[in-house]
Structure 1
Amino acid sequence: MAGRTFRIGTRGSRLALAQTDLAIAALRRARPELSYEVVVIRTRGDRDRRTPLSQMGGRGAFVAELEQALLRGEIDIAVHSLKDLPSRPAPGLTVAAVPVRDDPRDCLVSRDGRRLESLPAGARVGTGSPRRAAQLRALRPDLEVVEIRGNVDTRVRKALEGEMEAVVLALAGLSRLGMADRVAQVFAPEEMLPAPGQGAIALETREDDAAAVALCAAADHPGARACVAAERAFEARFGGGCNAVVAALAVAEDDGLWLRGLAAAPSADAFFRGEARGPLERAEALGEALAEELLRRGAGALQPRG
């Protein structure tokens, strides 16, 4: 490993580069003597800002090119927003580290700082997430939920310039970009349960690159990894993907994990919620068990069709 320069692959957006800086800082804390080079790769999701993600293969639109670059040996480590990774890993690749997680909650940015309950009936609220849209409809069925694309800066601008009354975004993304002062409201998990893995960064490597796997492992946070493992196992049982209205949040407690999960119809006509507790070392089993409970209660009818 000594003398090797590790090539870190990332998307080119301002948020992706900020997350890559955080990832490299975690790697440097673990192995300050090593060298790192940032390699920017444009993904399909970056090139096409107009087509709805549901028509582009879901969240994979942001990760496929990075994973292909890994498999071709053009980069050694790929940095992802963990919530963008499909719930099942690509063959030959592994999530080698989940560093310390940022705040996983969703938030509202509005033109005049209004909270959701203060928006007028019929107000247009933007989101590119079916999960957020369904929960918005449940909270305020009198609003018009509008699908939007674009990076964080673009979405915030749509609200501040009046194209719509408000937008819903991940709090972690705004914080990483130094835009937390734009937040009008942070949603409690009871109001809007986050996406599995939201707020976490994933470092992905080739399974057979022992040096890269070992380097990333030094930056891994066991508590964050256990939480996202439970959330992603819950999601995987429903099929995952951008069209699945599935949400989950696990919190590490002194004696284990507390997992909350949700499956809903995109129209918000049907919601299934549940929670479970268990040991950290059984994180995936906990997620699978909670999903099975919701499926037994009828959530199976909500699964996306292939």
Structure 2
Amino acid sequence: MTSAPTPWRLGTRRSALATAQSQQVADALSAASGRDVVLVPITSEGDVSRASLSSLGGQGVFATRLREALAAGECDLLVHSLKDLPTAPAPGLVIAAIPSRVDARDVVITRDGTELHDLPVAATVGTGSPRRRAQALASNPQLDVRDIRGNVDSRLSRVRSGELDAVILAAAGISRLGADGRPVTDGLHLEYLDLNEWPTAPGQGALAIETRVDAQSDLRAALGELDHAETRAAVDAERAVLAGLDAGCHAPVGVHATLDGDEVRLNAMVYALDGKKSIGLDETTPLGSGYARKSGSGDGAEAADGATSDARARGVGEDVARRLLERGAADLAP
């Protein structure tokens, strides 16, 4: 009798949200491959420390331990919230798939439905994101914005208890936690923020599935089936803006890209931390005919003329970053 193949091991943080989104990927990968996928819980520094994300190093604090586990063979693949992943590639690892993105917006959650710009003087708003802090103060300078940590449930409980008047979260996290019917925001009011006025973190709403460059060919092939071409091109453009700004700008950044045919629209904003000033660009750029590739082609697939859609999208983001710096984006840093 032929034994069943060994299940693939998917490394995940232990939080409810990380586990939920990892299980969704595991189910999709199992359906695409016919092979079992099991979750391997991994604890990162960001999960055990209560210090602010900026003091822990900001972006990447959740990814480092997971990547170490993957490189050491403790698991076969990882699922990251793409917005939390550094733009620099990790040696020996590759983002093998970026599934179709869900809602990229931020959402303000309150007890009574008062919108962010109408909250009264000294209303307390919780967020751990410097970008959201800057955007909130730009929308309503009278707010008392507080740096908070904790999972989604703990943040919502602080609104329910009256400790905070509002919190700002990613809509994607709310929807993924509620995918199993769990009443995540029962009794609270949600204000979804327009991406045109409130661009979010590069890659927000998207997941990155990472594996080793020497991963089994059947795993790479199965992951390729989960890759979504338009999402990958859009988030590559967004992350290229962030990468380009990192060299000379430490101010909060919001950026969102959308694809329409052979064009990409990129809306990028750089904010002073107090929200009093911002510099932005909102432009639509042709990517050239034939750039698009089929979903499911995985990383590195080529466009009709030999250039990857990813490289073209990254070029758009790099150009936007250069122009933002020319307009003084680096001067907005505290």
TM-score tier after normalising by the smaller chain length: over 0.9
Q: Which has the higher mean CA deviation after the structures are superposed, 181-190 or 253-262?
A: 181-190
- 3-state SS of the aligned residue for 1:184? strand
Provide TM-score, normalisation by structure 2.
0.86
Provide TM-score, normalisation by structure 1.
0.93
Instruction: Tell me if the contact between 1:262 and 1:272 (Cα under 8 Å) persists in the aligned partners.
Output: yes
- Aligned partner letter, 1:258: R
CA distance in 1, matches of 2:316, 2:39: 36
Q: 1:290 aligns with which of 320, 326, 329?
A: 320
Q: Give the structure 1 partner of residue 37 of structure 2.
A: 36
Q: Which has the higher mean CA deviation after the structures are superposed, 272-281 or 104-113?
A: 272-281
Q: Which runs of 5+ in 2 are unaligned?
A: 179-183, 292-308
Q: Which runs of 5+ in 1 are unaligned?
A: none
- Aligned partner letter, 1:113: G
- 3-state SS of the aligned residue for 2:275? coil
1:223 aligns with 2:253: no
Alignment of 1:63-82 (within 5 A): 63-82=63-82
Larger radius of gyration: 2
Alignment of 1:85-164 (within 5 A): 85-164=85-164
* Structure 1 position 194, deviation (Å): 0.6
Structure 1 residue runs of 4 or more that deviate by more than 4 Å after TM superposition:
none
Instruction: Tell me if the contact between 1:239 and 1:303 (Cα under 8 Å) persists in the aligned partners.
Output: no
- Aligned partner letter, 2:214: D
Q: Give the structure 2 partner of residue 194 of structure 1.
A: 200
CA distance in 1, matches of 2:65, 2:221: 23
* Structure 1 position 217, deviation (Å): 1.2
CA RMSD of aligned residues (A): 1.8
Q: Which has the higher mean CA deviation after the structures are superposed, 206-215 or 291-300?
A: 206-215
- Aligned partner letter, 2:175: S
Q: How many residues align?
A: 300
Q: Could you give the per-residue CA deviations for residues 115-165 of structure 1, whole angstroms, max 9, x where no partner exists? A: 113311110111000000001110000111111000011111111110010
Instruction: Tell me if the contact between 1:139 and 1:191 (Cα under 8 Å) persists in the aligned partners.
Output: no
* Structure 1 position 63, deviation (Å): 0.8
* Structure 1 position 210, deviation (Å): 4.0
Instruction: Tell me if the contact between 2:96 and 2:210 (Cα under 8 Å) persists in the aligned partners.
Output: yes
* Structure 1 position 233, deviation (Å): 0.5
Q: Could you give the per-residue CA deviations for residues 244-278 of structure 1, whole angstroms, max 9, x where no partner exists? A: 40111011212322111111121223211102323
- 3-state SS of the aligned residue for 1:79? strand
- Aligned partner letter, 1:149: R
Instruction: Tell me if the contact between 2:133 and 2:273 (Cα under 8 Å) persists in the aligned partners.
Output: yes
Q: Give the structure 2 partner of residue 248 of structure 1.
A: 255
* Structure 1 position 200, deviation (Å): 0.6
Q: Give the structure 2 partner of residue 207 of structure 1.
A: 213
1:264 aligns with 2:271: yes
Q: 1:27 aligns with which of 19, 26, 29?
A: 29
Q: Give the structure 2 partner of residue 171 of structure 1.
A: 171
1:273 aligns with 2:280: yes
Q: Which has the higher mean CA deviation after the structures are superposed, 54-63 or 37-46?
A: 54-63
CA distance in 2, matches of 1:194, 1:180: 21
